[in-house]
């Protein structure tokens, strides 16, 4: 009996401590992905606000500052918190980006944060020529954007290798949804562009993979990594909708034409060989020169993530929204 009483007294505070909700810190909440994450994240939120206005839940705590303002980071990050970094300083140098990341890691360790979840990009793989891209694919960053993103990842991995701070890196492909930029140009070209130009583009791109991913799946993956119970020691995860074979140029094009109530092209389309498209893209000094390239989400699924949002319905919802908002 005494042993049972002691066991209850010992386990009760431990259970209470483990059930406590830890803060989720979001850096970059005013961005495209950040705004969606704020709405989907149910934990207590602490948000770093720079110049942009952040629309946050009533119970969220907003701290003014940035990644170069160490006192604001000290105020922002709490013990045991999970810190989600969505910030990329696109107008700054590589050195500034690395300095910002170093500040973040240093303060996270000093404040005894639990985990950093860093949102990167799948296109870090650059000129990798494999048809199937996984987390094991050797990165070959090609342009400056990819090289800076890759350097940030490597810095995070290096600075957290002592395992005092957990790290998970999410690599989304091309994110779409209302108020995003992907697919907007294609929709506008098909709604009001020259039909001859659209026809030639359709012949050229044909079934080229689009590597799109709904922002809902990106946010779902971020929430999964925030809440994941087991330690994450520098794990990288791809998130994409490439499991759908419809994630290609021709299917997206036909869906847009259907929503626009436009007929398909008058003349039969001539399919351009993939080798020709690859040469054209290479000559244009673009990164992805493999028209068949697909990104796999299998590692994230093996860790327990389950897909809730499916490509065809997400694509149609976005395109119908865009048509309502932009076509009178």
Task: Tell me the DSSP string of 216-253.
Answer: HHHHHHHHHHHH--S--EEEEEEE-STTSTT-BHHHHH
Q: Quick one: which of 293, 257, 299, 297 has its CA closest to 278?
A: 293
- The better pLDDT of the pair 195, 124 is held by 124
Provide the CA 255 distance to its chain's centre, in angstroms.
Answer: 24
In degrees, rounded to 5, the angle at the alpha carbon of residue 140 between the alpha carbons of residues 26 and 33 is: 20
- CB-based burial label for 4 (10 Å; 0-12, 13-18, 19+): exposed
- Please state, in angstroms and rounded to a whole number, the distance separating the CA atoms of residues 83 and 81: 6
Q: Quick one: which of 242, 137, 263, 110 has its CA closest to 199?
A: 263
pLDDT band at 58 (very low <50, low <70, confident <90, very high): low
How confident is the model at residue 60, as a pLDDT? 85
- The better pLDDT of the pair 56, 242 is held by 242
How confident is the model at residue 51, as a pLDDT? 64
How confident is the model at residue 65, as a pLDDT? 92
- Please state, in angstroms and rounded to a whole number, the distance separating the CA atoms of residues 244 and 240: 9
Query: Dihedral angle at the C-alpha atoms of 113, 115, 117, 118, nearest 10 degrees?
Result: 70
What are the CB-based long-range contacts (under 8 Å, 24+) for 87-94? 87/27, 87/28, 87/31, 88/148, 88/149, 88/152, 90/145, 94/147, 94/148, 94/151
Secondary structure (3-state) at 293: coil
Q: What average pLDDT does range 273-287 have in this prediction?
A: 89
Using the CB atoms, write b or e for 135-145: b if 16+ within 10 Å: bebebebbeeb
Of 95-104, 225-234, 269-278, the one with minimum mean pLDDT is 269-278
pLDDT one-digit tens code per residue, 142-190: 999 999 999 999 999 999 999 899 999 999 999 999 988 999 999 999 9
Question: In the predicted model, is pLDDT for residue 9 greater than 60?
Answer: no
Q: What is the pTM of this model?
A: 0.89
How confident is the model at residue 295, as a pLDDT? 98
Return left, alpha or beta for 28; rule: phi > 0 is left, psi -120 to 50 is alpha, else beta: left
- CB-based burial label for 237 (10 Å; 0-12, 13-18, 19+): buried
How confident is the model at residue 267, as a pLDDT? 84
The mean predicted confidence, pLDDT, of the chain is: 90
- Please state, in angstroms and rounded to a whole number, the distance separating the CA atoms of residues 95 and 27: 19
How confident is the model at residue 54, as a pLDDT? 60
Of 17-21, 49-53, 180-184, the one with minimum mean pLDDT is 17-21
How confident is the model at residue 143, as a pLDDT? 94
- For helices 311-326 and 184-192, the axis angle rounded to 10 degrees is 60
Beta partners for residue 66, in sequence order: none
Question: In the predicted model, is pLDDT for residue 55 greater than 90?
Answer: no
How confident is the model at residue 281, as a pLDDT? 87
Helix %, strand %, coil % of the chain (to 5): 45, 15, 40
- Please state, in angstroms and rounded to a whole number, the distance separating the CA atoms of residues 62 and 47: 5
Phi, psi of 273 (to 5 degrees): -60, 140
Share of the chain above pLDDT 90, in %: 75
Q: What average pLDDT does range 284-303 have in this prediction?
A: 95
Question: In the predicted model, is pLDDT for residue 12 greater than 80?
Answer: no
């Amino acid at each position: 009996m005494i042993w049972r009483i002691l066991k209850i007294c010992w386990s009760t505070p431990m259970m209470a401590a483990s059930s406590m909700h830890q803060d989720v810190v979001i850096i970059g909440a005013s961005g495209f992905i950040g705004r969606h994450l704020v709405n989907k994240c149910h934990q207590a939120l602490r948000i770093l606000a720079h110049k942009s206005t952040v629309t946050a839940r009533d119970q969220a705590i907003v701290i003014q500052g940035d990644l170069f303002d160490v006192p604001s980071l000290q105020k922002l990050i709490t013990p045991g918190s999970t810190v989600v970094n969505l910030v990329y300083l696109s107008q700054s140098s590589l050195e500034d980006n690395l300095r910002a990341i170093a500040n973040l890691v240093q303060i996270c360790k000093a404040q005894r944060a639990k985990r950093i979840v860093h949102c990167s990009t799948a296109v870090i793989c650059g000129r990798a020529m494999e048809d199937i891209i996984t987390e094991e694919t050797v990165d070959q960053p090609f342009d400056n954007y990819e090289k800076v993103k890759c350097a940030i990842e490597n810095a995070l991995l290096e600075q957290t290798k002592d395992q005092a701070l957990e790290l998970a890196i999410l690599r989304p492909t091309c994110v779409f949804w209302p108020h995003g930029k992907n697919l907007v140009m294609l929709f506008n070209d098909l709604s009001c562009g020259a039909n001859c130009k659209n026809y030639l583009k359709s012949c050229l791109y044909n079934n080229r993979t689009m590597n799109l991913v709904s922002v809902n799946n990106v946010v779902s993956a971020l929430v999964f990594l925030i809440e994941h119970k087991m330690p994450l020691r520098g794990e990288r995860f791809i998130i994409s909708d490439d499991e759908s074979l419809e994630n290609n140029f021709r299917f997206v094009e036909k869906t847009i034409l259907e929503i626009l109530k436009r007929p398909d092209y008058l003349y039969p389309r001539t399919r351009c060989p993939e080798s020709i498209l690859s040469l054209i893209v290479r000559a244009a000094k673009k990164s992805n020169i493999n028209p068949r390239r697909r990104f796999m989400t299998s590692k994230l699924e093996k860790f327990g993530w389950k897909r809730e949002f499916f490509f065809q319905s997400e694509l149609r919802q976005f395109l119908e929204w865009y048509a309502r908002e932009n076509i009178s």
